[in-house]
Amino acid sequence: MRAAVYRGNHLVSVDEVNIPAIGPGEILIRVHACGVCHTDLKKIEYDLLTPPRIYGHETAGVVAAVGSSVTKYSVGDRVIVFHHIPCGDCFYCARKLYAQCPVYKKVGVTAGFEPAGGGFAQYVRVMDWILERGVERIPDGVAFDTAAFVEPVNTCVKAVEQCDPKPGDVVLVQGQGSIGLIFTMLLKLRGCKIVTSDTIARRLELSLECGAEYALDPRHEDVAAKLRQLTDGRGADMVIVATAAKGLVEQAIAATRPGAKIMLFAQTSDKERIELSGASICVGERQLLGSYSASVDLQKECAELVFSGRIPLHLLVSHRIPLDKIEHAFRLATHPGEFPEESPLKVIVRPQEFTV
């Protein structure tokens, strides 16, 4: 099969590799769509993990083979797969901090080499503990490109559940890439009054379509002043930091009232640094929160949310890229400003398609 293999030093090459062999209790999925996630892009950009690896974890496809003892799924089933599933028995699982579970940290989906998700390949092997609770069937009529959103939507729902916004809360969502727009959609369902910020005009336009009442470019508008204007001088009740641009957390503090919640969602690299006044948290009684990855408790709820069409995810897919052009897919995702006429947003890789 063909796969996009991370070779180190920021390099990914599309190579021929062996289709992964499956064992008892495992399945093989023929990948039809895999979303490009900035978590994987950071691993490549900063060389965070040792090569070789095959990344990609927002994976949707068709069951191509089943191992012995597998009765839950059959060849031909259309499915999505999560690459992490917790043990359910450890210290962290008891506290529902699943992303800290040692078993959760083990990746259980691979296209070869050290397991890393594998969705940027034509086939992936799903290990037995993932198969038990980490696979969901895609209903007829739901496109693979849409189904690939189940995992990222789960991560966003998890963060919103942790923040627990109330109807009428004024919430600032910083960044309106695909993740920020998903947050805007989810907060709209919660009945919040949403203000968004971004520096790309098309994304601001989309945020209004997805439920924002105000969409601001922080280069030209005073976001904190707007939030105070909307709240009798107080500031936002909550901020979700959905992008990793420098200085955003400091701006979030400035835009919030005392007692506000600030969710860090995109700060996933150890190389990122934030400098804050301690008093802005302590004296201001603000809550600084973090949320990472998905929750198995929300898996079926989030799958239904995606499959039902209750949130307009179709607005987010800007590019569908064949596997051999994956470097261009990564460039679109990491440097959207270089392609203003294309308005890059959510980029989907289709491993079964080639241009050469």
pLDDT at 95: 97
pLDDT at 355: 80
* Residue (of 276, 279, 284) closest to 256 by Cα position: 284
Tokens of 159: 């963060």
Together in a domain, 170 and 251: yes
Together in a domain, 142 and 6: yes
Name the domain boundary from 274, 290, 306: 290
Please report whether residue 306 resides in a domain: no
Together in a domain, 210 and 268: yes
Together in a domain, 207 and 343: no
Distance between CA 30 and CA 33 in Å, rounded? 9
Please report, for the domain that includes residue 256, its CATH number.
Answer: 3.40.50.720
Least confident interval from 131-140, 255-264, 332-341: 332-341
Together in a domain, 160 and 144: no
pLDDT at 354: 86
- What proportion of the chain, given as a percentage, has pLDDT over 70? 100
- Domain interval for residue 83: 2-148+316-350
15: confidence class by pLDDT, cuts 50, 70, 90: very high
Please report whether residue 100 resides in a domain: yes
pLDDT tens track for 168-192 = 999 999 999 999 999 999 999 999 9
Together in a domain, 99 and 15: yes
- CA 55 to chain CA mean position, Å: 14
Write down the residue that tokens 């590019």 correspond to. Answer: 319
Together in a domain, 172 and 274: yes
pLDDT at 271: 77
Together in a domain, 271 and 207: yes
Distance between CA 182 and CA 9 in Å, rounded? 32
pLDDT at 269: 76
Please report whether residue 263 resides in a domain: yes
Number of domains in the chain: 2
What's the distance, Cα to Cα, between the start and end of the chain in Å? 15
CA angle 341, 344, 350 (to 5 degrees): 125
Name the domain boundary from 248, 273, 290: 290
pLDDT at 87: 97
Together in a domain, 144 and 157: no
Please report whether residue 137 resides in a domain: yes
Checking phi first, is residue 153 left (phi over 0); if not, alpha (psi -120 to 50) or beta?
Answer: alpha
Please report whether residue 265 resides in a domain: yes
The pTM for the full model equals 0.96
pLDDT at 356: 60
Together in a domain, 249 and 123: no
Distance between CA 175 and CA 203 in Å, rounded? 9
Please report whether residue 301 resides in a domain: no
Please report whether residue 104 resides in a domain: yes
pLDDT at 344 over 90: yes
Q: Residue range 129-141: average pLDDT?
A: 97
Please report, for the domain that includes residue 136, its CATH number.
Answer: 3.90.180.10
Which runs of consecutive H residues, i.e. helices, occur in 164-277? Answer: 178-189, 201-209, 223-230, 248-254
Together in a domain, 173 and 245: yes
Please report whether residue 171 resides in a domain: yes
Together in a domain, 279 and 342: no
* Residue 284, φ and ψ in degrees, nearest 5: -80, -5
Which runs of consecutive H residues, i.e. helices, occur in 144-247? Answer: 144-147, 150-163, 178-189, 201-209, 223-230
Distance between CA 23 and CA 128 in Å, rounded? 8
Distance between CA 266 and CA 180 in Å, rounded? 10
pLDDT at 272: 81
pLDDT tens track for 52-110 = 999 999 999 999 999 999 999 999 999 999 999 999 999 999 999 999 999 999 999 99
CB 181 within 8 Å of CB 315 = yes
* Residues facing 30 on adjacent strands: 62, 123
